[in-house]
Amino acid sequence: MASDKFALLGCVVLLVTSTGCPGSATGGVAVRPDGSPGPQACPEKAREAMNYLRMFVGEAAWAQLDANQTRARPITLYDGNIESVLEENIGLLEAPARLYGRVWTGGPQVVIRYYAAQPVKGGAPVPICAVARLGFGQLRKHPESKPGTAILDSPRAGAYIVDEFR
């Protein structure tokens, strides 16, 4: 039984490191002069996984931006990795799946890119390409935000499926 768990863990590690999940997909993103991230291709493995899960470009669902600050107002986000909580299903990915990505706070508004989703019923993380969006400039950070942080009024935003990061 222990050897089965070890084999399963080995397969999960291999899948995560080879499919463009958070550790590998975010490396090498060019940063624009204002501190926001530049364009980035969506890995082919993520495009395949999203197609299989019927997660098509433009589809969206509400997500709590930070799993550690659900429903808090305001919230503070930090540059680096983030874990969000999906509030609604997207395609075959059921809520409350976890979304794993990266936050950039250097520009005038926060940029959040998601690279992986953890299905609620278990299994390995699935590579995806999604972004957090909220209309009317609501991902714009408060002026009193310190470098490397962003204070936002809303703890939630739409998680939108994309085919590349722009």
Looking at residue 135, what is its pLDDT?
A: 86
Q: What is the CATH number of domain 2-165?
A: 2.40.128
pTM score? 0.82
Looking at residue 12, what is its pLDDT?
A: 36
Q: How far is CA 100 from the centre of its chain?
A: 4
pLDDT tens sequence across 87-144: 999 999 999 999 999 999 998 899 999 999 999 998 899 999 999 999 887 899 999 9
Task: Reduce the DSSP state of residue 91 to 3 states and report it.
Answer: coil
pLDDT band at 1 (very low <50, low <70, confident <90, very high): very low
In the predicted structure, residue 57 carries a pLDDT above the cut 60: yes
DSSP label at residue 35: S
Q: Distance between the two ends of the chain, CA-based, in angstroms?
A: 46
**Percentage of the chain with pLDDT > 90?**
73
Domain ranges of the chain: 2-165
